[in-house]
Structure 1
Amino acid sequence: MKFSILRVYTHFYNQVKIIGILIALLTFGMFATSGGYYLLITKFGADKAFSMIKEPQKEVLKGGIVLKTDPESIRKGKELYESKCYFCHDAYSNKREVGPGHKGILKNPFLPVSKKPATPENVANQIRKPYKDMPSFSYLSDEDVENIIAFLNTL
């Protein structure tokens, strides 16, 4: 038994350098692919905006958001939601479509992606200056944003 192990060992002894180099290349390749995959998923770090790293964003609407509860505002907010938000978000569940579901969004302690407190001001901020992959809706008027928030408050 010992002699067979010694024969195998001496036979492969000359190839140890090559095997070591292959192991090193495989290890490097595994780390490079996992790092490359991470960079592709995060779009090369684009998920963190430089302005958010540098300093926290200021409130968009000074003086706070008026949380409307009248049926007309809620109806307008629902129409706006269905025309602007429905393609990526499900209003009646927490399932993630393209973006997170909005069921009970203002009743939760934190917003689903940015993890900021779930307040009307932070929702307005998210609509105007999105945190991640969401498109900006900065062209919406203050009233439109307040109507969307009024609808979200009913979920």
Structure 2
Amino acid sequence: MQAGWLQLRVALFLVLALSAGVAYAHQGAGGKSEAAAAQPAPSPRLVAQGQALFQKYCATCHAPRDGKRDEAPSLAGLYQRKLTPAMKHPVNDANIGGHIKQGGPVMPPFPWLGKEEIAALLAYLKTL
């Protein structure tokens, strides 16, 4: 009876290990899932619109002045990070877009920005 349970446990372990291996093999380059890797690159027009919005609303605090950063953290490489430094949440469009709209402890909110403007900002931030 115990030998049967042992065989069942070993078989279950092998199935789980194989499943994990298959899931890992389906990830794209850089650890991105197929769904993330399949997303089309944002259009140059959208990125340019986002850059203009960044200069208008974000650069005052998030861009260095004279090689120094006095206000807010750099957003360069934001989408390569797993967690945001200030928010301690996963870096994804929903969290970053929500933070832009709602603000944070030291960041002002930008509730008047529409979905298209948020999408443009996110597209630009992904290029940094």
In 2, Cα distance between equivalents of 1:83 and 1:132: 21
Matches within 5 A, 1:85-124: 85-90=58-63, 96-124=69-97
Structure 2 segments unaligned to the other structure (5+ residues): 1-38
In 2, Cα distance between equivalents of 1:135 and 1:111: 17
Higher helix residue share? 2
Matches within 5 A, 1:1-150: 69-90=42-63, 96-150=69-123
Aligned match of 1:47: none
Following superposition, the deviation at residue 90 of structure 1 comes to 2.2
Is the CA contact 1:106–1:120 (under 8 Å) kept in the aligned structure 2?
no
Larger Cα-atom Rg? 1
| Structure 2 residue identity aligned to 1:90 | A
Following superposition, the deviation at residue 68 of structure 1 comes to 6.1
Is the CA contact 1:77–1:150 (under 8 Å) kept in the aligned structure 2?
yes
- What is the count of residue pairs matched by the alignment? 87
Distance of aligned partners of 1:68 and 1:131 in 2 relative to their CA distance in 1, 3 Å threshold:
farther
Alignment RMSD, CA only? 2.0
- Report the TM-score, using the length of structure 1 for normalisation: 0.52
Structure 1 segments unaligned to the other structure (5+ residues): 1-65
Give the secondary structure class of the aligned counterpart of 1:88.
helix
Is the CA contact 1:67–1:149 (under 8 Å) kept in the aligned structure 2?
no
In 2, Cα distance between equivalents of 1:105 and 1:123: 10
- Report the TM-score, using the length of structure 2 for normalisation: 0.63
Aligned match of 2:127: 154
Following superposition, the deviation at residue 142 of structure 1 comes to 0.6
